[in-house]
Every structure is written in structure tokens, then in C-alpha cells.
Structure 1
């Protein structure tokens, strides 16, 4: 079978790959975007509860983790959250801001997928789905690929296949295998933005709290997040936990303040003075969910009217509210992780083009590279920014 020739072949029809493909095609490049999935942009489709948290207006290098925290600066400056929002508005997609600068579609996330695929098609790019990549070679100045649909060749090859997160959606370590084939280093990968789990004995103690959610400050290694925390039948989840999970390593403890901004000891002392007949858990339940308040008071052995509790008893209640130190046993892993930490080492990539320094024409974008954003639209912004700069260079 005769090989089809393209200027650019992009492996992966997710956010970064589709965006890069449209940008390159607009420049008159012959572009092919390939994916083994049956539908494009599956992570986009399920994100944000089906409404796609497509960017964050506060996106800056400070919101990203990488072995080289400076690597993402160029791409984020050259194509910003405001730039992508302008594309969304030009398309006529209604959107709204939730907390902390997170932007969501008013309607379905499919609007973002449709925008990306339409842009690619209108620019003259080709999208092939349900297509596997069986072999990649570079015998000379061009890349030769053997696809399930036949052989293709290209001058520029873009790796946009993401990481290992959510394997049920088809995620694999394909990007890392391609990188290693061409001699690119891969930084250690692990699940990020993932719920944390507890050992059985602790889970049994916390069983009554499964399903309880509260605002909290969760901290580890000098980093903290003030967002919601959720007790689960496996451990802890919720935005605050997902955020800190990207900084946590097995064997480490995390610190939790279940009432940030309040002084529970002072609240209890004042209530004891003003209305000593009240139960401690009744007063605490004004600050925390009722089940959590009851659990903490019972664990402290401080049940009963406040008038019967001395300061030591009140401290036994207040301390675990503000200074709960807990050591997770692990995480739920790639099965539920929203992103993959680590990836193709950015030391081997040009930050202005996302091109390999050692393999001309090979580019790495999106989650495949060792750049991981916080929860809240940051990872999509990295997909747009890295895809855009590569799209100007291929």
C-alpha cells in the first residue's frame, strides 16, 4: 500500500492534539490527527460534570508542577486563558465562572469538542478515529508510521496522547514508549488530582462520616488549599484533597483544618459562659456538619453540657478540628486520577516550540509532557497553550 504523506501527524485527538492540529492546518500544513478511540475529546466530554471546566482565568506558571517549573512560562504567556476564552465566545458558546476563576460551559462539554473538530476540518485537517499506531520509525528526515489504516509519513510528529489517567477511557503509557524509542527521558509518573485512601482500621473508625463534606484547609510540605473535603468509604476526596494529592507522596502525612478561619476553642469557651447547658456537639455543629461534629466530640470523650467540660476537654475537641494530622495509605491510582504527574522530561524539549532538542520534528504537548496543573481548568489551559505553540512551529 502506498504511503500517504502529510506535513504533520498528531497522535491523540484530545484537547491538545485537536487544538494543535487546527492551528497547524490554518498555516497551510497538511495535517492528520489520529486516535485509537471511537470519539474525539473524551476527557473533554466528561470533564466538569459534563460542562467542561475549559480554562481558569488565573492560570499562571505558579499553578503547575514540573521538574522545571519555568518550562511552561513561554507557552502560557503566548496563548493565555483570555485567548482561549475569545475562541469560545467567537463560537457563541455560553459560559459562566464558578469559584476560583474556573470557567465552565453553560451547556454541554460537547460544544468544546465540536468547536475543536470543526476548526480542524474547516482548516483542512484530517481526523482519523478508531485507528491504532502499530509502528513508528525515522529512517531519515521523515517519520514513517504504520497505522491500522495504512502507512503514512510526515516531516513533523506530535505526541499528544496524554498520560495514564483513567485507563477505562483508553489511557495508556503510549507517549512514554514513543519517547523512550527516540531517546527522550521520561520523569517518574504517578497519579495526580486523585482521592487518597486509608488503611482498614482508620476506615472503620471513620465509617460514620462517609458522604460528609465540609470546607477545609489541607496542607502538605508548605503547600495548602482551602476547598471542599469529602469523606468517602475509601478515605478522603473533594477538591482540597485532589489538589494536595499532587504534592503528597506515600508515607507522608497531611494536615487538615476542618474549620479554617474559625477558633473552635474560643467558640466553645464563649458558649460555655453564655449557655452552659448546651451540648458541645450542638455548638460545634454550627461550624461543622452535624455528623462530623458528633464524631469529633465522641472521639474526644467530651460529650455532655458545656458547663461540665473544662478547658482541657474543650481543647480535645478543638485540636482535631484545626490540627488533624493523618497519614493516607495510598491513593485510588490512575483509575480515578484526573491527571498524570511527571511524563516526558521537559529538559529535552524547547519551551517555545515543544520540539525535542535531540530529534528534529518530534514535538510533545499536553499531559504527555512533565507539566501538570492544579484542579480547576489549568490542565486544559496547558493543553491549549502547548498545542498552540507547537501548532505555530510544525
Structure 2
């Protein structure tokens, strides 16, 4: 195996989460009797360019077409994040109605809707079926995979972009080289590329191993991002930690020399170096903590069940697929999962085959315990569930399993 970016063979195994189904491959009742395809979920660290990456890439057509049912609109904190992002960067870069903003991996068009409110030209690109929602809502969207070839087509038809966004693009995209080449082609001379990713520092500190799934091919430090964009003659000129998805990194990149590199980049690079982030010892410790967490959580759930209590799951996020399959938590432990996303209700979770039902069941039936799968946004979810009337105890699995309301 070689590093995807720099082709180095100096790869260190961070953690093996075994074979898992695609995280959003929810099943209908008719599909339960059919075999599922499980793929390796094994994470490696490149000791040369510092990129953390999966060793196996599932065909994007399996992950991001008809089966992909995650929508930005289902994540309320993310919508607020998108609103503030659009307002801030329209102001910071003096965008006007003449300027084009392109969002790659635009999903249901939620971010572009916010840019549209700021009176700039917008265009989305996304291959998944959720792009139909954006199109229906009047957001101009090209339903296709972004690459250098499509960038040439867009440039001919729409012109160059002052700002290109791709909030989860560089962790997800399989053909990363073609994508960044396409971004360079589409940017105006003074244009900016904005992208966000899970921050490996937060993943390790908060034990977010469940953020690892097949859609996320890569996990970034600022060091890895600087090394990546240098290969394309681009500068990372701004970097900041943001709370999205339990801890992410936002960077701004430009053609080399366009903007001065801010102290924010230098500061985070120094912090990563001082903390010994990119070391085997650090990743070994992470792996050991993950394995310990799994055993602790399973003991807790089995103890609750042995006392005759009911446990259900809150949410069916992609990260929940990783956690449930890695910990082998199935319908013998969780009676069902509750959801607000209508596209998931009535289906069954990948791998563990737990039925997904309306969130109202949680309030109506009042099960004694509920395992919170989107635990990274617990501060938003738990108060809302209490307000809706759920009085049971809530199990938060990470970074250390604990019970809220005990």
C-alpha cells in the first residue's frame, strides 16, 4: 500500500474497525433477507506527508448516489453554521451580485440558499439524489461528480468563481487530484477555496472513532493540509478550529502568493508539532482508548438489559453505523432507533438491522434508556428531547460512556 497523496510506503496502521457496510446504506424490509456488502474500514497514517487515510476506497457510485440520504437540513446546528459562514465570507471578500460562488458537494443546497440571500451568483455540484431537493428549491445544481473535466465545462458556461466552497469535499472525494486541479482551474486569480474537515486533533482528544466511515477517505491535520495544497502550488493562508461535527478545521486556500499566510496557520502548525500529534505513540494511545471504550460501553448496555430495562437508540447518523457495527450492538440490545429524517424512517440500520421509527415513539413509550448516536451534538439534542417530553436516561457513548439523568 502507498499513500494516496505522496505515494510513500511509510504507512502506519492507526486502527482497524473491521469490515463494515456503507454508513448510509439503510435497508428496506424487503432487503433484509438479501446479503449486504461489507468493506474494509482500516485507517493508516502516512509518516511522510502526515495524511491519515483509509486503505480502501469504496466506489463513489455506491456511496453517493441513490443510497445517500443525508441532508444538511436534518442537521439544525449545521444550518446555523452555514448561515454565519455565508454572511461572514461575503463580507470578508466583498462579494457582489457579479461574483460567482460554487459549492462542490452541495447536497440539498442549504449553504447556497444562504449565499443567495446575500445576492451573489450561485452554482452547486453534487451527484447524489439529494441534489434533486436543491433543484426543486430553485438552486442551480449540476448533478454530477466534480472533476477537472467538469470544471472546464463550468468555466466555459458560467465563468470563473470568486469563492469555491466544499465543506466536506476533501475528506470525501475519491479523485482528489482531479478535484483540486478543477478548483484551481475555476478560481479567479484572486479567488479563494474554502473547505472544512474533521480535525484529527478533535477526533483523537474526543475519541471520535465513529467519525471514521467509508465516505470519509481522509482525516486532516493542518500539517497534512499544508502539505497537500503545496503539491498543487497553492497556499493554505488561513486556518481555524470550528465546532462543527464535534470539532473541525476550516482552511482557506489560494494560488501560491495571492494572500499572505496568517498567524492562524503558523500557530496551529506549531501546536501540532509541540503536542507530538503526528507520532506512532499518539495513534497507539488512540487505538487503545477506542478498544477500552468499546468494552466499557458494551458492559454498560448489557448490565442495563440484564436488569430488564428497555434501551432504544436516538438518531441513525452515519457515525452511528460505525459505532453499532464496531461494538456489535444490534436489535437484541436496542429495540429501535428514532429519527426525524423522513428518508430513514421505516428502514433498517446497515449491518445491525435495527428498525428506524418516528421520534415521537420516544416520548410516547418513554423507554428507560436511550443511546445517543449523534453524541457530538448532544448539547443541542438533549435539551430539545427534554422539552419534547422524553424523561428517560440518555447514554452518551463517547469520549467515555456515561449516563445523563442518572
Query: What interval of TM-score do these two structures reach, taking the shorter chain for normalisation?
Result: under 0.3
Give TM-score, length-normalised by structure 1.
0.24
Larger CA Rg, structure 1 vs 2: 1
Give TM-score, length-normalised by structure 2.
0.24
Higher relative contact order (CA 8 A, sep 6+): 1
